[in-house]
Amino acid sequence: MRIGVLASGRGSNLQSLIEAWQEGKIPAEIVAVGSDHAEAQALTRAEKADIPHHAFPLKDYSSRIEQEQAILTWLKESRIELLVLAGFMRVLSPDFLKALNCPVLNIHPALLPSFPGLHAQRQALEYGVKVSGCTVHFVDEGLDSGPIILQEAVPVEPGDTEEILTERILKVEHKLYPEAVRLVINKLIEERNGGKRE
């Protein structure tokens, strides 16, 4: 299976996917890495792994719609069969998802459906929860609302700051995301049955 990845920042989840792929843990090939930021470290990681990559900074386009269309065209030309969002800080439009016509995965630093959207770790701390975590889910037209693939809990420790909790969750994300991708590729889990194993 041909995988495309979109990332906006440092790309640590991308790196975990690259390493799992290189170690043969993911039976697929990462063929495209795109970012909406030209300086994203994710692009540097892709370059080091000899993966085709491209930046789509908003300033190069007349609108977000035009930017999204350029990303869509590039992914289609790359013939991707699975799109993985690895810290891509943009909500994809329903038109994009329909036109792409392949599964799209995302990882979120909370136990969905709790704390969707931005700053999930901050939301968790402000609410006072004792357990946080991360969720890999299929992307649908809502905000962090698609069928859940995998989740793992992460304890909230006394004295945690947003930064400390973020790093603790991120370590779990790096293990959980490659496993979720493996399950989807091997058809052990599918979007149409609500994220449940067959």
Which residues does the annotation mark as catalytic? 108
24 vs 116: CA distance, rounded Å = 32
60 vs 72: CA distance, rounded Å = 15
Q: Are 124 and 110 in contact (CB under 8 A)?
A: yes
Sorted by sequence, the CB contacts under 8 Å of residue 10 that are 6+ apart come out as 40, 41, 42, 87
3-state DSSP call for residue 11? coil
